[in-house]
Amino acid sequence: MNDEFPDLDLSLKHHAAARRELLRRIAGGAAASAVLAGLPWFSPLKAQPAGKSPSDRVRIGLIGTGSRGQVLLEHLLKTPAVEIAGLCDVYAPSLDAAQRKVGKKVPYYRDYRALLDDKTIDAVVIATPLHLHAPMCLSAFAAGKSVYCEKSLALTIEECKAVAMAADQSPQVFQIGHQRLFHRSALHALSQVKAGDLGPITQIRAYWHRNIDWRRPVPSPDLEPLINWRLYRQFSAGLMTELASHHLHVANWFLDAPPVACVGYGSINYWKDGREVFDNVNVIYKYPNGVSFVYDSLSSNRFHGLEVQIMGPKGTLELETSRFYREIPPPAPGIVQLINQIEKGIFERVPIGGPSWVPDLKKDTKGIALPEDPGHDDGTGLSLAAFASAVRLKEKMPYMVEHAYRSGVAALMGVQAMEEGREVLWPGDYRS
């Protein structure tokens, strides 16, 4: 127990248990290093420096104090080792709301370069529209700051490469806002995969469906691009970078590889309101060993909600609802099937059938719950605590650049496949 960071230790206790369980089950060797490669939070979080003065805090500047920026701010304000040292936004109402959350006067800026000029700021958290991620990350590294950048990494594949290279070469810490890396049930799911509970992963299926136009009210027409940036291609790549990037990140992480290629279709088939990004997307990614990641996202029907399903011959893991489903055992002998089918009235609903035939309808089982974090944190709180800790220790987060690059690029491959109507191949490592 570390007296200086009681809150952090509380959450770490749970993660330490997950880690022990994970390592017990995979017991060393190549599998263990593969898992550890996917758990970059181990390194900075395991080594909290004891006995440092409470004033020895990480001074963080938040750039982009809109919707996500304010969620991050709430977590940062609860992180003991952090001091909010500056706020930046070009939109006064966002900046005012963030100032109120902090509750005391902190320097605020309209131009992020002025915040970067403050030599007393150690690190920046970037939560701005996608097209600004690359220029802001590059300027921050050049100014000697550590960087926590919200997903997705950048608007173009070239920018993803440039930011990944800069992050790799910088002595500062870099972290991407893929909070599932720090989500306890995701870690537990990973341990189940590595322990062979699914058999080999044969497919990952993910979807994110909503029935909303994604528009925000705009006080005056000139603010449309600033407020509804997600709908315009100059600032955003739409559903793939805003939503799919999270599940692509899970796929890359659990399969321990980026996709080899992808194909897809997208269109605007419902919200014909001047937007430039697709309102529905369907993309299939091919991973090594013929494993597929099948993705779709709708903006006009929310029947299925969101989920990422990791499937193998022995079971299915659902990460959004945190459940594990064993495959249903083989069919019962013919006579038992016949009795069951008569009792369930199968013959009245299905035109063919018999004891030797089992309808492949969805199995209605509850599955087994995976352990969740206390307070149902989705991983964001621990993710920021890990970042602050890494900055404080001056210790880079292993494999974080790969996580950011692979998911950012995979999302943009999907966009390219749909926009250009062709198969898109993985463009290679950022160093190539």
Interaction site with ligand NAD (CB under 6 A): 63-69, 88-91, 94, 112, 127-130, 132, 150-151, 177, 179, 226, 242
Count of beta carbons in the 10 Å neighbourhood of residue 67: 11
**In angstroms, what is the minimal distance from the CB of 217 to ligand NAD?**
12
Are the C-beta atoms of residues 139 and 132 closer than 8 Å to each other? no
**In angstroms, what is the minimal distance from the CB of 242 to ligand NAD?**
5
Compare residues 64 and 398 and give the one whose CB is closer to ligand NAD: 64
The residue nearest ligand NAD at its CB is 66
Compare residues 63 and 382 and give the one whose CB is closer to ligand NAD: 63
**In angstroms, what is the minimal distance from the CB of 235 to ligand NAD?**
9
Compare residues 94 and 282 and give the one whose CB is closer to ligand NAD: 94
Compare residues 38 and 379 and give the one whose CB is closer to ligand NAD: 379
Compare residues 48 and 322 and give the one whose CB is closer to ligand NAD: 322
Ramachandran assignment for 278, one of left (phi > 0), alpha (psi -120 to 50 degrees), beta (any other): beta
CA atoms within 13 A on the CB side of 375: 11
- Residue 125 three-state SS: strand
Residues 169, 417: Cα–Cα separation, whole Å? 31
DSSP of 378-412: -SHHHHHHHHHHHHHHT---TTHHHHHHHHHHHHH
**In angstroms, what is the minimal distance from the CB of 194 to ligand NAD?**
25
Query: Nearest CA to 155 among 69, 229, 252, 67?
Result: 229
Owner of token pair 């706020």: 87
**In angstroms, what is the minimal distance from the CB of 132 to ligand NAD?**
6
**In angstroms, what is the minimal distance from the CB of 236 to ligand NAD?**
8
Residues 131, 237: Cα–Cα separation, whole Å? 9
Which amino acid belongs to residue 331?
Answer: P
Burial class (CB within 10 angstroms; exposed 0-12, middle 13-18, buried 19+) of 397: buried
DSSP state of 240: I
Overall size of the chain counted in residues: 432
**In angstroms, what is the minimal distance from the CB of 397 to ligand NAD?**
16
Compare residues 91 and 265 and give the one whose CB is closer to ligand NAD: 91
Compare residues 96 and 168 and give the one whose CB is closer to ligand NAD: 96
